[in-house]
Amino acid sequence: MEIKVLYEDNHLIAVYKPAGILVQGDKSGDSSLLDEVKAFIKNKYQKPGNVFLGLIHRLDRNVDGVVLFAKTSKGASRVSEQFRNHTIKKVYHAWVHGIVKEKEGVLVNFLKHDENQNFAEVFDKETKDADRAELSYELIKIDGDFSLLKIILKTGRHHQIRAQLSHIGHPIVGDSKYGSTLRLPEQKVALTATELSFETATTKEQKIVTLEIPEKSW
């Protein structure tokens, strides 16, 4: 796998994750982005022994976009703190079924994760064992029977964007788990993590890593 580096310094590395690739290995035994980036760093810098690479956040297997890793324990600690404090800005773009009528909006729901089914159930009111989920969206354009949305996460729940958009009647294209009737290659869903904004681990500079907004491909 060719690693596409979007940003790198002494403590952090941001790369592009293609759809279909796990961020972290699981019981399937399939290759993961974490392992591939470790191998990339080991080879690039001729590092002996094991390479440290801290997992800071994740993307679903069938979602593509920006993933940030820590190359040092200091980097992992500093950036993990930013995630906990919600000072990191995460932007996504998604193609959804249907014409979204509101130019912008905020979705607030409560999500309960069913681990057996790997599915997020959505509730409109507070529910036992359900976590509050909030995102905002902006309508970018309409193409036929599909809408392109820019999404900013306020919370980071399991399958949050996929579940909440499906709940309002606009499932993400390719996301059969949440109601899409279309199939995309590599079991991809038309959701891309297009932007990640964070502070560097030592200099406190604000960095913004971006990807091109995905085009409609079906």
**pLDDT tens-digit profile of 84-123?**
998 999 999 999 999 999 999 999 999 999 999 999 999 9
Q: Could you tell me what percent of the chain has a pLDDT over 90?
A: 89
What token pair was written down for 145?
């029977």
Residue 206 — pLDDT band, cuts 50, 70, 90? Answer: very high
> What pLDDT is recorded for position 30?
83
pLDDT on residue 86: 87
pLDDT at residue 179, rounded to an integer = 97
| CATH number of 5-210, picked from 3.30.2350.10, 3.40.50.620, 3.40.50.1110, 3.30.70.20 | 3.30.2350.10
Domain boundaries, the chain: 5-210
What pLDDT is recorded for position 31? 87
Q: Is the pTM of this model over 0.85?
A: yes
The full 3-state SS of the chain, as one line of letters, equals CCCCEEEECCCEEEEEECCCCECCCCCCCCCEHHHHHHHHHHHHCCCCCCCCCEECCCCCCCCEEEEEEECCHHHHHHHHHHHHCCCCEEEEEEEEECCCCCCEEEEEEEEEEECCCCEEEEECCCCCCCEEEEEEEEEEEEECCEEEEEEEECCCCCCHHHHHHHHCCCCECCCHHHCCCCCCHHHCCCEEEEEEEEECCCCCCEEEEECCCCCCCC
Q: Tell me the per-residue pLDDT of 150-179, one tens digit each, with 9 for 90 and over.
A: 999 999 899 999 999 999 999 999 999 999
pLDDT confidence bin for 186, thresholds 50/70/90: confident
Q: Is the pLDDT of residue 187 over 90?
A: no
- Give the model confidence (pLDDT) of 11-61 as tens digits: 999 999 999 999 998 877 788 999 999 999 999 999 888 999 999 999 999
pLDDT at 76: 96
- Return the pLDDT at 25: 80
- The catalytic residue positions are 60
pLDDT above 70 covers what percent of the chain? 100
Distances (CA, A) of 148 to 74, 165, 171: 38, 12, 12
pLDDT given for residue 97 in this prediction:
98
- The three-point CA angle 174-63-91 to 5° equals 115
Dihedrals phi, psi of 184, to nearest 5 degrees? -115, 160
pLDDT (0 to 100) of residue 204? 86
* pLDDT value of residue 77: 96
